[in-house]
A = this chain, B = another copy of it.
Amino acid sequence: MDVMEAILSRRSIRRYTDEPVPEEVITELMEAAMSAPSASNQQPWQFVIINDRRILDEIPKFHPYAHMLKEASWAIAVCGDQNLATMSEYWVQDCSAATQNILIAAHARGLGAVWLGVYPREERAKTAQKLLGLPEHVIPLCFISIGYPAEKKPPANRYDASRVHRNRW
């Protein structure tokens, strides 16, 4: 798929067929994730790829917008490793760039995906950390829910010229 087409037509997909997504495809998404830029190239990310049904079903019990994980083939937890974050103030931005790469790559591979915010909601992050057995220094930024899409959405066309300022506000 063409890059601009992928970026412009990507939507949040919350309904999936029951066809499992092969792990090789998830590995491709991991390659995309780790190709993101990061502050001083610190690459402060860790990923938990989840297809254990018991774990997937646990997440909606503490995450109010994660009900679609009951149908999803996989979830990816994108996490910031504070021991790797040499420029600690930028790990959220680095991990967000990695997340966006995953979303675009997933769409290009014919998958549906949606970004589920965790950090900086403290309670949510702590519970996710416990569920996945993450050490203290690994903070879950978000979950990404992934499956083959069972819904179709047209491009959103969110472009708004009033948000673009020339040279000064």
The dominant DSSP class at the A interface is mixed
CB-CB contacts of A149-161 with B at 8 A, as 1s and 0s? 0000001101110
How many copies are assembled?
A: 2
A42 to B164, CA, bound (A): 17
| Chain A residues at the B interface, C-beta cutoff of 8 Å | 1-4, 6-8, 10, 12, 27-28, 30-32, 34-37, 39, 43, 45-52, 55, 87, 89-90, 92-93, 96-97, 99-101, 103-105, 107-108, 114-115, 117, 120-121, 132-135, 138, 141-142, 155-156, 158-160, 163-169
Set B3, B30, B31, B100: member contacting A1, Cβ < 8 A: B3
Chain B residues whose C-beta falls within 8 Å of the C-beta of A121 in the assembled complex: 89
Please measure, in the bound complex, the distance between the C-alpha atom of A27 and the C-alpha atom of B167, giving whole angstroms. 14
Nearest neighbor of A3 in chain B, beta-carbon distance: B108
